[in-house]
Every structure is written in structure tokens, then in C-alpha cells.
Amino acid sequence: YIKNINDLTVYNKDGNTYFAVLPATELIEYDEDKLWERINFENSTGNSKHTDFEVKVSKFGGFNGEFDRFISRLESRQLDNRLDFIIKKGEENTTDELSKIIKQFLGFKEDNTSSNVTVIDLSGISFDVLSVAVSLISRLMFNFMYYAKKIHPTQDIENPLLLVYEEAHNYVPKLSDVKYRGVKESIERIAKEGRKYGVSAMIVSQRPSEISETIFSQCNSFVVMRLTNPTDQNYIKKLMPDSVSSISENLSGLESREALVLGSSIPMPTIIKVNELAEYKKPKSTDVDFMDKWKENWNELNMISSIIDEMVIPEII
């Protein structure tokens, strides 16, 4: 439809308007519903011969190529397989029902077991798609809890949710860019209204000064680990009462597993130290020992092909 209104040309005959299509032997009266079908229009310059008579072909509608760039951008999005989960439905026998997706997010497995924590790994998604995915998941979980409360308004919420947004500065920054609008609105609504529906949010970021101020203002408690950036340090100091602001002077000197806790969860700001996990419980997120590895002999990369196979590469058509 967009291509047609972009290239649309018509001519007039006997008081009626006709499509100027190729081949020039067809006589098709103008009908907007036909624009949803693929049509090959003539160029609007000069005269053209239609059904044995010569007519003046003219543009109609005022869209003389104004959608060229938009069509190109739209086609590139359609061909980007990273967006298939949004714009393509897939096969009927492989498409999960909404109830199954909700159960997965809530920790209910197919073997009838359950888990209190569900990790949705979006680390492999490119940045231009990340905000869309986070927005969809956030809205889905909020709407589920909203309608659960609406259906049973007198019952207490038995399974409240805590949505933990890791590396939140990547998708809810202070920036007012259009690409962040959807995800910011989703998370801001959870931060402002979620508590009465049993949905809360934990915002995790290494750069708290870059987080949306609307979201930050709704946070009741803060757990602050080592911060070396002066802007971030000053941002945290503003959150503390003047009487205990000196406790934040050493944010850059906090050791591993040490944290400054402040807010409604604790009577007064306090520095705590988290117990160290047993070796078998530690997550696979430790830093690489660069210096030790560089001191060793250089190893040949024998896994290049398998690594490339795991990478998501958009199809180029």
C-alpha cells in the first residue's frame, strides 16, 4: 500500500479517474481498496497511450516519492532476522501459547517443577533490539499482574514479582531518544504503579547518574557498591541525609562484596559486607585474569568456526 501511494499515477477520461498502470492497455478505474494489491505504475512525465487513446498521466495524492526512504528502512527491518520474534508468527505447531510463555517467566517448568528465580538472558541481543525486548517482557508481566488483581480484587496477591533489570543504563537512560520511549514508559509504570499490583522493580547499573530520573525517584532503598566515577558518587551523596553524608566519602574505596545500604529498608545508612558464596554456587561472571593469560604461551583458536556458528548474523538479501 505504501509503495503504491508513493508511486501512484492516474489519468482522467470522461469525468472518471483511472490508474495509469503498466502495461498501458488496461483500463482500471481508481479504487483505493486496490492499492493494497501490487501495482506497477507509469511514470508521471509526459503522455501515455491507454486503451487506444493518448492521455496525460499525472500524480495523484501528493506523495511524489516522499516515502522512498521510509520504504527502504521498513524493508531493512523486515529482512532483519533479529526481529523475527516480533514481526513473524512462525509455524503453528512451534508457536508457544501466551499461557505457556507466562508460566515460563513465572518459573513453572514443563516437568511440573517450579523455581523462585527466572533468568531471561538477553545478553546476545543487539542494542537496537534490546530495548524492544525488555519493553515487551515488562508490559507482559505488568498486564498479567494487573488483570490478576482486577479479576480477584478482594484477594491478597500470593505471588508478587520482582523484576530485576541488569545493566539498566543500556535501555532506560536519561536520554529522550525515540528508541527508548517504549521501554522507559513500561518500566516507569511499574516503578510508579506496580506495587499495588504486586510488581516491583530492582534497577541495577554501574552508572546510576545515567538512569531515568523518574524511575530513580520511585526507588525506596539503595545498595551502593564501589563507584569510581565522581558524577555517580555525587549522585549517591544527594540521596543521603546531611547528618550521615560523610559515610559516602569512601565509595571508591569499597572492597569486593562491600556495599552501602540506605533507604527505607534500613534504619540508617550502613556499610555491610556480603558473605562469600561457596565455590560451586558462584555465578560464571568472574573477570578474566588478563595478565595471567597474557603471560602464558599464545594458544591457537581452534573454536573459531563453532563461535561463528553461535553468533547471530542478519541475513543479507
3-state secondary structure 47-111: EEEECCEEEECEECCCCCCCCHHHHHHHHHHHCCHHHHHHHCCCCCCCCCCHHHHHHHHHCECCC
pLDDT at 204: 93
Q: Quick one: which H or E segment has residue 293?
A: helix 290-295
d(CA 114, CA 92): 27
Question: pLDDT for 236-284, tens place per residue?
Answer: 888 777 777 777 778 888 888 899 898 888 888 888 998 888 877 777 7
Count of C-beta atoms within a 10 Å radius of residue 229: 15
Statement: residue 79 has pLDDT above 60: yes
Statement: residue 309 has pLDDT above 60: yes
pLDDT at 200: 93
d(CA 250, CA 224): 11
d(CA 134, CA 129): 9
pLDDT at 51: 63
Question: pLDDT for 80-131, tens place per residue?
Answer: 877 776 777 655 544 567 888 888 888 887 777 888 888 888 877 777 788 8
Pairing state between β 53-56 and 58-59: unpaired
d(CA 179, CA 132): 8
pTM: predicted TM-score of the whole model, two decimal places: 0.64
The residue type of 28 is: I
Q: What is the pLDDT confidence band of residue 317, given thresholds at 50, 70 and 90?
A: very low
pLDDT at 60: 67
pLDDT at 91: 56
Question: pLDDT for 208-245, tens place per residue?
Answer: 888 888 888 888 888 999 988 888 888 888 877 777 77
Burial of 73 (0-12, 13-18, 19+ CB in 10 A): exposed
Closest CA to 203 of 243, 235, 228, 247: 235
Torsion angles phi and psi, residue 70, rounded to 5:
-65, -45
Statement: residue 315 has pLDDT above 70: no
pLDDT at 210: 87
Query: Are residues 174 and 205 in contact, defined by beta-carbon separation less than 8 angstroms?
Result: no
Closest CA to 233 of 216, 215, 214, 253: 253
Statement: residue 186 has pLDDT above 90: yes
Closest CA to 141 of 179, 180, 184, 104: 104
In sequence order, the 6+-apart residues with CB closer than 8 A to the CB of 268 are 244, 262
Query: Are residues 67 and 14 in contact, defined by beta-carbon separation less than 8 angstroms?
Result: no
Range among 125-139, 182-196, 298-312 with highest mean pLDDT value = 182-196
With vertex at residue 214, the alpha carbon angle to CA 210 and CA 217, rounded to the nearest 5 degrees, is 90
Domain locations along the chain = 2-69, 92-195, 220-288
Instruction: Indicate the average pLDDT of the chain.
Output: 82
Q: Which residues pair with 223 in a beta bridge?
A: 261
- What's the mean pLDDT in 27-53? 79
Q: What is the pLDDT confidence band of residue 190, given thresholds at 50, 70 and 90?
A: very high
Statement: residue 197 has pLDDT above 70: yes
